Amino acid sequence: MRSLLLLLALALSAPPAFAQATEEAPQAAPASIAIGMIEAVRGEGIFEIVHNGQAAVRHTRSGLTCHFARDGGGGRLIIFEPQRDPVRPDREPAIPRGDDVACEMNEGGAQVRYFATRYPFGSTLEEQLSGVESAIRRRDANATRYPGETLRTSDDGLPDRRSARFIVTQDGARTFTRASVARVGDWIVKLRFSAPAPDDAAAARADQLADSLFDGALTEIIAPRPN
């Protein structure tokens, strides 16, 4: 009897291994998540996975690399569909499919979206930045400009970067929002960044993070790591 009671006590004190295994849902591998993102936009041949142990995807034509959380974190890829001429629908679209793409993710509470576009016609950084500024002001007529460098040049081998910064109201909260553009070869690369900014100190930190993210994206395009 004593042995039976001892065995029963051990059984009751042991962790329920099967229950623990079923409580934790298996997580998809980062590479599988990246493949799923590509398939979701029919982006095979336009995007490729980056084999770095994370959920990372590279736009094959521009070299823009998008880094997502290991579980995807709500990030997504975007392929903007070509717009045909309504008068001459038989003509090929001005921008082929895959030459106008974006990816978006959350980075430390900030909303981040990168764009890579190859225009068949000349487009200056000033024109690109002006278009984004107009869009920001259309969404928030009370947007106020936040101080910062409009043109940033450096000797780090990166191209010139132009940026516009604003304080807007988003979902009732004071928000720092910024647009940055650069040209790398035939491609216009753009960053749209928004983060909560209850005060100017928070806005300054958000601006520094945006600088770091955009510089990192440009660096990966110019000097890509082996896949």
Look at residue 220 in the predicted model and tell me its pLDDT: 96
CATH 3.40.1000 fits 28-83+90-222, yes or no: yes
Q: Where are the domains of the chain?
A: 28-83+90-222
Task: Give pTM, 2 decimals.
Answer: 0.83
* Predicted pLDDT at 7: 38
3-state secondary structure of 96: coil
Tokens of 64: 């823009």
pLDDT of the residue at 139: 92
Tokens linked to 169: 């109201």
> H or E element: which one contains 34?
helix 30-40
Instruction: Tell me the average confidence (pLDDT) per consecutive run of 10 residues in the chain, 227 residues long.
Output: 39 43 61 96 97 94 95 93 70 87 94 96 89 93 92 84 96 96 96 97 97 96 81
- pLDDT for the residue numbered 87: 60
pLDDT at 14: 45
User: CA neighbours within 13 Å on the CB side: how many for 99?
Assistant: 13
pLDDT at residue 90 in the model: 66
Question: Would you state the pLDDT for residue 10?
Answer: 37
- The closest of 107, 102, 105, 129 to 183, measured between CA atoms, is 129
Specify the pLDDT at position 67: 96
